[in-house]
Structure 1
Amino acid sequence: MKLSIPDADTLWDSLPSTRRHGLVLTVGPDHLDEMDHVNNTVYLVWCEEVARAHAERLGMGTGALRALGAVPVARQHVINYHRPALLGDRVRVRTALTVHAGLRSVRAYTVDRVNDGDPPGGGVRLAECQTEWVWVDPVTGRPRRAPAEVIDRFGFGVQKQRPQI
């Protein structure tokens, strides 16, 4: 599946709250690299952080998913960087579950600076990310479909699954 980053802002407004989550954080010294801006790997950490917070909010953290027999593992990350974040910046990281299809799910993320004086509502776009997740059995590591409870909890509605052959 070739990933292309959708217009995450349009998606955000059109999705139910069960499919989206956001957090605001402040850039600290430990986020910076030798260029004195947020290191590119930190953006990915923030994306995973907001995804985990989203799952926890819905009662679908790692422990709950293990108990249900399926956990997501990253297959591919795509990040487009637009502007750097600097020490002290307030950063809003949002995620939206955009696709669920069988063994795979896709999350879109936006990372915006939301300092005082930035454009109201949207802030300044720093980066966009998309991650393709594959559902696997936590014991065997083999791919498997997400359980109906997981699909429902994340706002996709209970979907009928085809019998596995």
Structure 2
Amino acid sequence: MEWALPDPFVIDIHVNEASIDAYQHVNNSEYLRWVEQISWAHSEALGLSIERYRELDRAMAVHRHELDYLAPAFDGDELQLATWIVECDGRFTLTRRFQLKRLEDGKTLLNARTRFACIALSSGRPKRLPEEYQAIYGAAQVTE
């Protein structure tokens, strides 16, 4: 599969009937759910699980989502969703990019971007990225 950026973290998605809406294609809320799913999977693969987030009293809370829906997906489609960390300011924010493709024809169905802000889980207030986050997410960052 050819991706917009090098070395993506990728998950496979099989579209099933539960994802289909009244228009007989994947509901737009599913794309957002998949973006969240791959974000967690990538963080865990990098060594930052939800348990580690809790130990550090930190969370990366969504500040902004941008989703560009380019083409529909349908029941039975086999998809791949890729993500990259494209920004980590080392202080408070992290930005991911996403690209969703259909395996059958290689067509890009979605391009997305999410900006996260670091907060303390205990208070919900903005907090600096722990050094561990800076090191791990910073090392995974790719250039757009």
Using the size of structure 2 for normalisation, the TM-score is: 0.89
CA distance in 1, matches of 2:54, 2:117: 14
Please list, as runs of the form range in 1=range in 2, the aligned pairs for 1:1-165 lying within 5 A after superposition.
9-10=3-4, 12-13=5-6, 20-101=8-89, 102-115=91-104, 118=105, 123-156=106-139
Kept in 1, the 8 Å contact 2:66–2:113? The answer is: yes
**Partners of 1:75 and 1:153 in 2: CA distance:** 20
- CA deviations on 1:36-83 (whole Å, 9 max, x unpaired) are 100011001001101110111122022101212321000110100110
| Kept after mapping to 1: 8 A contact 2:88/2:138 | no
Contact 1:134/1:143 (<8 A) preserved: yes
Structure 2 residue runs without a partner (length 5+): none
Q: Mark the runs of 5 or more structure 1 residues left unpaired by the alignment.
A: 1-8, 158-165
Identical pairs, percent: 27
Q: CA deviation at 1:147?
A: 0.7
Give, in angstroms, the shift of residue 143 of structure 1: 0.3
8 Å CA contact 1:73, 1:133 repeated in 2 = yes
Is the CA contact (8 Å cut-off) linking 1:70 and 1:137 kept in structure 2? Answer: yes
One-letter identity of the residue aligned with 2:32: L
CA distance in 2, matches of 1:75, 1:154: 17
Is this contact kept in 2: 1:100–1:156, CA < 8 A? Answer: no
RMSD of aligned Cα (Å): 1.4
**What TM-score, normalized to structure 1?**
0.78
CA contact (8 A) 1:105 1:133 kept: yes
Give the deviation of 1:137 after TM superposition. 0.5
What is the aligned residue count? 137
